[in-house]
Structure 1
């Protein structure tokens, strides 16, 4: 098996709300948009974010647990602290719950926002060589 990820799928309760948040609010461009079923957004050359309606997901994969903070975070790395603040401001304007960014003990600057289903996104400047390797 090759070492790669092709899709990140998040099961969502209200696909229309997720579309408003990601497409209308954050300005991300859907590549696949099937009303009431799935919204797919290209994140990289060979990577899609798939937002899958809960009923359709459960019909295929079985019951999905819910409640509380989902045990996963996604990250969006940027080059400068001002970019972190700008992304958090955009996320708030799109309806996200977002915390103020701060300097972290690991040497970076980051903050988090939650999408309509509570999935947490970290927005970060990571000054390490690994962090630099994640930027376009």
Structure 2
């Protein structure tokens, strides 16, 4: 038996969706590049620059995890996805763009108590996204978030 500790990795966020065609169209409209198109509408993968967003039919995802499909929550799920930006102008532009692609505005962009600036939108399945610029957190040309030590 090996005593070597596995290397932790956060690689994919899989979102359960009600209408995979509509969700694929939404994430493509946001500008995420779809990969592995051969999967058709069974599952959709999008390159985000560091991790991957996967879209999977909600009922099948629940079944795969051995969880009940119903009731589906219509309230906050305790999780947000984040779109980090480098300026307040970029936050405003990204939030406006997401809304133009079919997102629902949850909270307009505003100054935060920690010195940042953020707003929230929901995708077509009510997955919550924060669009934010935060002090000391930068997004590089590689689209990855760079955190200070």
Same fold (TM over 0.5): yes
Structure 1 stretches of 4+ moved >3 Å: none
Which residue of 5, 8, 11 corresponds with 1:3?
A: 8
Q: Unaligned 5+ residue runs, structure 1?
A: none
Contact 1:37/1:56 (8 A) holds in 2: no
Q: CA deviation at 1:88?
A: 0.7
Matched, 1:56 2:60: yes
Q: How does 1:7-86 map to 2 (within 5 A)?
A: 7-23=12-28, 25-33=29-37, 34-45=39-50, 47-62=51-66, 63-64=68-69, 66-68=72-74, 69-86=76-93
TM-score (norm: length of structure 2): 0.80
Which digits, 9 at most, give the CA deviation of each residue in 1:39-69, with x for residues without a partner?
1111234x21111112332342232452223
Please identify, of 28-37 and 94-103, the stretch whose mean Cα deviation from structure 2 is larger: 28-37
Q: How many residues align?
A: 132
Match of 2:108 in 1: 100
Q: Tell me the secondary structure at the aligned position of residue 101 of structure 1.
A: strand
Contact 1:8/1:50 (8 A) holds in 2: yes
Higher relative contact order (CA 8 A, sep 6+): 1
Q: Distance in 2 between matches of 1:106 and 1:117?
A: 29
Which digits, 9 at most, give the CA deviation of each residue in 1:66-104, with x for residues without a partner?
222322101111101000000011111111111320000
Matched, 1:127 2:132: no
